[in-house]
């Protein structure tokens, strides 16, 4: 009886050992699955970053990562956060550093280099038929380390109905804007608090030179220039098309297209138009880059390739209202109302990096104080 009990005890012990072993294997698999599920790609962007949700979900599925997208204010604020946290990076990849900020970013040593050029996307004929081919698009580039994703133009916009009602001819130059006939008609953004405001300031300096540009700004102040803190305040509060008092506003070449796209009533033509005056147009190029010291390098590189893919290059056009950096990618139908300016002006990148802060300070003294 005692021997039989002993044998039974041994059998139970062996069975329990097998159960524990199996549970251990299952636990290991569960832990591995949880680890794989926890893989996270940290993406730092400016506040205006937007892409169709299905595209982002598709990327997560194909890359096997979860995207954690952090919007860090405007592009300047975003870069400052990247610089302040470079000892312990808060992102693996960053989108939104443009040609204004590129030199500062590279000088701060917060970007990492790619080992090889980003894969070129291929565009199928079927997708080409869905929009307007952009064979005449300009070559877009950024300094090494940054991969161009999109570009656009900061320029004047005007309210068609206001000018038609007043019977006032459109200004043909920046000098015209400083004449009494156009007194109190323009609203600009403060370059200290607004990216388009800063870009417009840089266009004037690039075209006229620093001293002449600030003479013009002083004349504009005397002629009743209105200054808004940011683009939204200027466009949606001060602009006459939105019920304000100024029929001219610093905005984007794509803004008229957005007016048609978002209109509650069907429009064949936009109620606004861009006005590209010499010295009043700045071309902005936005890029994506690896963050130095970031994690998930392979997934970050894949995300960079993703932003250059045909689907994203088309999707961003009516999400961020920018032109695609890939010339082979067709323009969406909505952008037929976005006229690309023939010329644009800017100081050289090195001058922007070295003097932009001083220029903004000088602008503040000339225009606001």
19 falls within a domain: no
| pLDDT of res. 140 | 87
pLDDT of residue 76: 83
Pick the closest to residue 46 from 150, 117, 187, 139 (CA basis).
150
Is the confidence at residue 181, as pLDDT, over 80?
Answer: yes
Q: What is the pLDDT of residue 136?
A: 55
Question: Per the domain annotation, does 33 fall within a domain?
Answer: no
Helix/strand/coil for 206: helix
**pLDDT score at 33:** 47
Asked if 240 and 357 sit in the same domain, the reply is yes
221 lies in the same domain as 361: yes
**Residue 35, pLDDT score:** 43
Domain count along the chain = 2
Helix 53-63 to helix 297-307 angle, to the nearest 10 degrees? Answer: 140
Confidence of residue 193 (pLDDT cuts 50, 70, 90): confident
- Whether the pLDDT of residue 121 is over 70: the answer is no
- 266 pLDDT exceeds 50? yes
Instruction: Write down the pLDDT at residue 124.
Output: 44
Q: Do 351 and 244 have their domain in common?
A: yes
Average confidence (pLDDT) over 281-301: 96
pLDDT above 60: residue 11: no
Average pLDDT over residues 331-353: 94
Residue 32 reports pLDDT greater than 60: no
- Say if residue 257's pLDDT is above 90: yes
Partners of 42 in the beta sheet?
68
Domain that holds residue 105: 38-150+286-337
Give the residue-averaged pLDDT of 200-213.
Answer: 98
Confidence of residue 62 (pLDDT cuts 50, 70, 90): very high
Question: What pLDDT is stored for residue 30 in this prediction?
Answer: 43
Is residue 202 over pLDDT 90? yes
Task: Work out the mean pLDDT of the chain and round it to a whole number.
Answer: 87
CATH number of the domain encompassing residue 252: 3.40.190.10
Statement to judge: residues 132 and 222 lie in one domain? no
Q: Are residues 278 and 297 in the same domain?
A: no
Residue 62: burial class (beta carbons within 10 Å; 0-12, 13-18, 19+): exposed
Q: pLDDT digits over 93-110, tens only?
A: 999 999 988 988 999 999
Under the banding of pLDDT at 50, 70 and 90, the label for residue 117 is low
Share of the chain above pLDDT 70, in %: 84
Asked if the model's pLDDT at residue 189 lies above 50, the reply is yes
* Spatial CA neighbour of 208 closest among 267, 301, 278: 278
Q: Are residues 217 and 354 in the same domain?
A: yes
Task: For residues 44 and 81, state if they share a domain.
Answer: yes
> Do 231 and 353 lie in a common domain?
yes
In a domain, 15, yes or no: no
Indicate whether 87 and 62 sit together in one domain: yes
Which of 16-30, 105-119, 179-193 is the most confident on average?
Answer: 179-193
- Give the tokens for residue 319: 């999400």
Whole-angstrom distance between the N-terminal and C-terminal Cα of the chain?
A: 105
* 218 and 364 inside one domain: yes
Residue 125 and residue 47 share a domain: yes
Average pLDDT over residues 217-232: 96
Give me the residue label for tokens 């929009």: 131
Residues 242 and 180 in one domain: yes
Residue 24 lies in a domain: no
Under DSSP, the state recorded for 110 is: -
Bridge partners of 152?
Answer: 284
Task: Give me the pLDDT at residue 22, please.
Answer: 56
Would you say residue 165 lies in a domain?
yes
């Amino acid at each position: 009886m005692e021997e039989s009990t002993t044998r039974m005890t041994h059998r139970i012990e062996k069975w329990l050992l097998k159960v524990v072993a199996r549970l251990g294997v299952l636990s290991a698999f569960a832990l591995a699955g949880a680890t794989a599920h926890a893989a996270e790609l940290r993406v730092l962007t400016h506040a205006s970053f937007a892409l169709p949700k299905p595209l982002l979900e598709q990327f997560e599925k194909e890359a096997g990562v979860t995207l954690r997208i952090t919007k860090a204010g405007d592009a300047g604020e975003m870069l400052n956060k990247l610089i302040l946290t470079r000892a312990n990076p808060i992102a693996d990849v960053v989108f939104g550093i443009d040609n204004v900020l590129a030199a500062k970013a590279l000088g701060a040593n917060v970007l990492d280099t790619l080992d090889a050029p980003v894969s070129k996307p291929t565009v199928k004929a079927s997708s080409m038929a869905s929009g307007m081919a952009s064979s005449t698009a300009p070559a877009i580039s950024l300094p090494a380390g940054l991969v161009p994703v999109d570009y656009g133009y900061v320029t004047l916009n005007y309210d068609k109905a206001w000018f038609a009602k007043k019977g006032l001819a459109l200004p043909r130059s920046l000098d015209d804007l400083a004449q009494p006939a156009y007194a109190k008609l323009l609203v600009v953004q403060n370059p200290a608090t607004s990216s388009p405001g800063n870009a417009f300031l840089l266009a004037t300096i690039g075209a006229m030179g620093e001293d002449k540009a600030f003479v013009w700004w002083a004349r504009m102040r005397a002629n009743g220039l209105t200054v808004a803190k940011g683009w939204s305040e200027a466009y949606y509060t001060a602009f006459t098309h939105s019920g304000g008092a100024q029929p001219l506003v610093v905005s984007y070449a794509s803004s008229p297209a957005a007016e048609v796209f978002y209109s509650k009533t069907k429009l064949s033509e936009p109620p606004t138009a861009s006005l590209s005056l010499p010295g009043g147009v700045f071309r902005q190029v936005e890029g994506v880059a690896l963050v130095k010291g970031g994690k998930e390098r392979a997934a970050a590189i894949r995300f960079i390739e993703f932003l250059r893919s045909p689907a994203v290059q088309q999707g961003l056009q009516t999400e961020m209202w920018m032109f695609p950096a890939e010339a082979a990618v067709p323009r969406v139908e909505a952008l037929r109302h976005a006229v690309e300016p023939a010329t644009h002006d800017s100081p050289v990148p090195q001058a922007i990096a070295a003097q932009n802060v001083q220029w903004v300070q000088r602008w503040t003294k000339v225009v606001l104080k």
